[in-house]
Amino acid sequence: MERICLDCGAKLLGRSDKKFCSDQCRNNYNNRLNRDQNNYVRNVHAQLRRNRKILSDLLEDGYEHIHRDALIAQGYSFTFFTHLVETMEGLRWSFCFEYGFRETGKGYLYLCRSSSYMDVEAGEES
Nearer to Zn ion, 30 or 43 (CB): 30
Please report whether residue 44 would count as binding Zn ion according to CB under 5 A. Answer: no
68 neighbors 111 (Cβ within 8 angstroms): no
Binding-site string for Zn ion from residue 11 to residue 40, where x marks contact by CB under 5 A and - marks none: ----------x---x---------------
Which residues partner with 93 through β-bridges?
Answer: 85
Please, what is the minimum distance in Å from the beta carbon of residue 8 to Zn ion? 3
Stretch touching Zn ion by CB under 5 A, among 4-12, 36-44, 53-61, 114-122: 4-12
10 Cβ contact list (under 8 Å, min separation 6) = 4, 21, 25
For the chain, the farthest-separated pair of C-alpha atoms sits apart, in whole angstroms, at 72
From the number of C-beta atoms within 10 Å of its C-beta (0-12, 13-18, 19+), residue 69 rates as exposed
The secondary structure of 100-113 as a DSSP string is: EEEEEETTEEEEEE
Nearer to Zn ion, 25 or 91 (CB): 25
Residue in 5, 54, 55, 111 binding Zn ion, rule: CB under 5 A: 5
Residue in 4, 10, 33, 46 binding Zn ion, rule: CB under 5 A: 10
Please, what is the minimum distance in Å from the beta carbon of residue 17 to Zn ion? 15
DSSP reduced 3-state for 18:
coil
Residues at the interface with Zn ion (CB under 5 A): 5, 7-8, 10, 21, 25
